[in-house]
Structure 1
Amino acid sequence: MNASLWQVVIGHPLFALALTLAAYQIAILVYQRSGWLVLQPVMVSMLLVVGVLLLCGVEYSTYRIGAEPIAWLLGPATVALAVPLQHNIKRIRQLFWPIIVTVLAGGALSVVLTLVIGWLLGADWAVLMSLAPKSVTMPIAMPVADQIGGIASLAAVMVMLTGVIGTALGPLLLRWAKVDHPAARGLSYGMNAHAIGTAHALQEGEECGAFAALAMSLLGIATALLMPLLLAA
């Protein structure tokens, strides 16, 4: 392929869209063939997209505009999580107070341990505040981090790493701890690996996915409301 034709290809409006879809399909194939939980499709596809953009000299802003149709689907995909929640609403009502206690206690413990470990390792205030909301989904973590004195872009990276690592290690740790109940597993995925963990939970079963979506939502709301009040005071 000569240089002029290549420039036409990377300059096409559908280049970013095709690149994103192709990278994700390759990542899924690698994940399924390898069976390695560390090779999460989100991480692998991101690395593929970044590598191609660097090789082609395409600016992220240009890629972002081209991939906008995929971003539009995030809203409907999030709303669709209400389907497994509705199907398991009776079970959720039965476990309402245990769910609330688990989300609040687990969320608080996660933040405290993160801040303590970061402080012991010598992280400055901006880094600590970027790490604090790492367990909630990115659209919540970024503005929260910015509000409490962190760095939104660093928070986004930490959220992604938390989701990938949590999803990779979660099944192994839950198996070691002999946690088999779908509700308990779902809460763990949703609290510790947010959207990526919820996607994995849905693969385990609808009940597991429903509780993961619920935990992710409740923890996100609690973080958005309480963390700025507690850490920015």
Structure 2
Amino acid sequence: MNALLSDSIFWGAVLSLLGYEAGLLLKRKFKMAVFNPLLIGVICVIGVLAVGHIDYDSYYEGGKYISYLLTPATVCLAVPLYEQMGLLRKNLKAVAAGLISGVLASLVSVFLLAKLFGLDHAQYVTLLPKSITTAIGMGVSEELGGIVTITVAVIIITGILGNMIGEVVFKIFHIQEPVAKGLSLGASSHAIGTAKAMELGPVEGAMSSLAIAVAGLLTVIGASVFAGFM
């Protein structure tokens, strides 16, 4: 099977897109958060690789081409932010306070849970960058001596959970302010959360885009400080 698929350059990308499309169809049909397209896509890819006994390297040869689109897609997030610059200036103090609070909440929660479950230093710092985008989180984990592969998995899981339960949390706590919704999604679940924010509205999407960059930078600084606590 590996030999057969290795002759096709793009089969990994096709498999990923088909899995995501299956997720979109399920989401449209059942309208339930659990049928998150990204989550369904991940499950489909893992299932095909496991059932077909296919090496990850064979899959990645084609799947990596989707990764090339991540950088330009992230850069494009600046467009909705630019369109909401007036709103950002008007709420600058609240935005700054919200982002700092979000980053501190993430770092403190990891520290407390690491103490509770008796994690060692490497495991602890592996989890510190869980809420920021993968490109930054990998560098932070590697610099602090964490396990980079686990960091990537944790970041993806965090993003998917934020995307799935974000709206539920807003309803439970009666959060209706678009700026607050966007900042919370971007600061807690990075680009995957931002995708949900953009579904909610242009203001939510713009604030979430801002949160990705600022929360990432704050986490780089904060993680270096918190790493010394264990």
Q: Same fold (TM over 0.5)?
A: yes
Between the two proteins, what is the percent identity of the paired residues?
30
Structure 1: gaps of 5 or more residues:
none
User: What's the C-alpha RMSD, in Å, of the aligned pairs?
Assistant: 1.9
Shift of 1:60: 1.6
| Aligned pair partner of 1:18 in 10, 14, 19 | 14
Aligned position for 1:141: 137
| Aligned pair partner of 2:178 in 157, 161, 182 | 182
Shift of 1:149: 2.2
The aligned amino acid for 1:55 is: V
Aligned position for 1:231: 227
User: Superposition pairs for residues 102-117 of structure 1, below 5 Å?
Assistant: 102-117=98-113
Q: Provide, for residues 183-233 of structure 1, a one-character-per-residue CA deviation record: whole Å limited to 9, x for no partner.
A: 111011111111111000001111110001111110011112342255258
Shift of 1:34: 2.2
CA contact 2:133–2:191 (8 Å) conserved in 1: yes
Q: Provide, for residues 68-94 of structure 1, a one-character-per-residue CA deviation record: whole Å limited to 9, x for no partner.
A: 321111111111101100110110111
| Aligned pair partner of 2:203 in 181, 203, 207 | 207
Quick one: distance in 1 between partners of 2:133 and 2:169? Answer: 22
Aligned position for 1:36: 32
Query: Are 1:58 and 2:58 an aligned pair?
Result: no
The aligned amino acid for 1:99 is: V
Structure 2: gaps of 5 or more residues:
none
CA contact 2:5–2:58 (8 Å) conserved in 1: no
Quick one: distance in 2 between partners of 1:9 and 1:232? Answer: 46
User: Superposition pairs for residues 210-221 of structure 1, below 5 Å?
Assistant: 210-221=206-217
**Number of positions where the alignment pairs a residue of Structure 1 with one of Structure 2:** 229
CA contact 1:148–1:232 (8 Å) conserved in 2: no
Q: Secondary structure at the match of 1:190?
A: helix
CA contact 2:102–2:184 (8 Å) conserved in 1: no
Query: Are 1:70 and 2:72 an aligned pair?
Result: no
Shift of 1:120: 0.7
CA contact 1:183–1:211 (8 Å) conserved in 2: yes
Q: Secondary structure at the match of 2:33?
A: coil
CA contact 1:141–1:156 (8 Å) conserved in 2: yes
Sort the Cα spacing of 1:230 and 1:127 in 2 relative to 1 into closer, same or farther, 3 A: closer
Sort the Cα spacing of 1:33 and 1:104 in 2 relative to 1 into closer, same or farther, 3 A: same
Quick one: distance in 1 between partners of 2:50 and 2:7? Answer: 14
| TM-score scaled by length of structure 2 | 0.92
Quick one: distance in 2 between partners of 1:155 and 1:62? Answer: 22
**Greater relative contact order (Cα < 8 A, sep 6+):** 2
Quick one: distance in 2 between partners of 1:90 and 1:56? Answer: 53
Aligned position for 1:94: 90
Larger deviation, residues 179-188 vs 7-16: 7-16
User: Superposition pairs for residues 166-177 of structure 1, below 5 Å?
Assistant: 166-177=162-173
| TM-score scaled by length of structure 1 | 0.91
Quick one: distance in 2 between partners of 1:78 and 1:144? Answer: 19
CA contact 1:198–1:212 (8 Å) conserved in 2: yes
The aligned amino acid for 2:165 is: L
Q: Secondary structure at the match of 1:67?
A: helix
The aligned amino acid for 1:37 is: A
